[in-house]
Structure 1
Amino acid sequence: MPRIRVPGLSRSFTTCITGIGNPEPQYACTRHNAGLFMLDLLKEELSHSSRSQPYLPCSTTKKVKKCQWGDNLLLRADGDYINLSGKTVVPLWNRLGPDFTHIVVHDELSLPVGKVQLRKPGTSVRGHNGLKDIAKRFGGGFYRLAVGIGRPAERDSESVAQYVLAKFTKEERSIIESQGLARAIDHLRRLTC
């Protein structure tokens, strides 16, 4: 894959990893923000903490922050509600040009807590409204890095909404940090190397 020069950034990039979630700090540590939580874990782990670069506001929209890691551009989309993720990130993706590999990191009800799955472009968005909005505005040409959050016993829409907007338990966070992060890194390394 060719290296891409992004105006205003000092490196060339081939991959854009975008974490989606609801506005923080209001929704920080909620299950619906598992994509942002995982993006932050990836950034810290892969940049070896001591050299970690901070997220900086994007010049085109303050609703998205950016950071660079190797050949990867990390975008943290938490300035709008997750169901409007396409409205928030697709204009930025379009500015990057057509040669990027796009990966969206998101929460996934159909996976147990801590399980991480990489799905190829064009596969089902499994009812995730944030992914639906991205697909509507961009098409299906992006990978999905799904972070399992489990599912409540009750399946009605009100119970599900309360569940995804509730904060992770300490145990759930620990599982994602200890097991999910390693799986996510493995998926990304196999995809981007």
Structure 2
Amino acid sequence: MITRPLIRSAGPGALRRLSTCITGIGNPEPQYAFSRHNAGLLMLDLLKDQLSNSPKPYMPCNASKKVKRCQLGELMFLRVDGDYINLSGKTVVPLWNKLGSDVRHIVVHDELSLPLGKIQLRKPGTSVRGHNGLKDITKRFGDGFYRLAVGVGRPNERDSETVARYVLSKFPKEEMAIIATQSLPTALNHIETLLK
């Protein structure tokens, strides 16, 4: 598990000390909350809550009404769900550019090609595996960001309509529990390794 000393208290000039920005991407409408396609947002929220010494809410982002932010010392959490996931780059890249070139970026996203609950951290420059949100970010920013994939599994039928229904459907309670109890510790370990 991650150790608290890695997270330093935010203070004056905190943005200048920012080292890592963790961005969760998903769809905006209430009906998509807790859907498989929003697994990146779910994991982002779990990471933020785990890394906070006390509950710290997201705040509106001054530069974009479509993004919420929360800063914990050198870590910035961006919750990008004000636009469709396929347009993630349009929403987030202008904000990344404002943070400067020294900030390391991690995008947390759903991943069909991984079994439910499996977490995989992939380095910049690796394939986006057909994920349209990652494609849009790459188109507008380049591929210089880490991908923290949250496995959501895949339906047996591979036709596009079945897959679309599957990713837009909500996680059953037992699958949510897997994400919270089994996936989160692995994701935290990956973040810890990067922060070191």
TM range (shorter): over 0.9
The runs of at least 4 aligned residues of structure 1 exceeding 6 Å deviation read none
- Deviation by residue 1:5-53 (Cα, 9 ceiling, x = unmatched): 9x986672100000000004231000000000000000111114xx121
SS at match of 1:173: helix
Q: Deviations over 1:110-130 (max 9, x none)?
A: 111111000000000000000
Q: Aligned to 1:163, which of 163, 166, 172?
A: 166
SS of match in other structure, 1:191:
helix
% identical aligned pairs = 71
3-state SS of the aligned residue for 2:64? coil
TM-score (normalizing by structure 2):
0.91
How much has 1:69 moved relative to structure 2? Answer: 1.8
Gaps in structure 1 of 5+ consecutive residues: none
Aligned: 1:22 with 2:30: no
SS at 1:152 equivalent: coil
Letter in 1 for 2:181: S
- Mind listing any 5+ residue stretches in structure 2 that lack a counterpart? 1-9
CA distance in 2, matches of 1:66, 1:109: 27
Matched, 1:79 2:71: no
**CA–CA separation in structure 2 for the residues paired with 1:11 and 1:72:** 11
Residues 26, 8 of structure 1: alpha-carbon distance in 2 compared, 3 angstrom cutoff: farther
| TM, length-normalised to structure 1 | 0.93
Bigger helix fraction: 2
In 2, the alpha carbon distance for the partners of 1:97 and 1:84 equals: 21
Residues 148-174 of structure 1 show CA distances to partners (whole Å, capped at 9, x for unaligned) of 000001101000000000000111100
Residues 8 and 190 of structure 1, relative CA distance in 2, 3 Å threshold? closer
Aligned to 2:43: 38
2:61 maps to 1:68:
no
Distance of 1:149 and 1:69 partners within structure 2 = 28
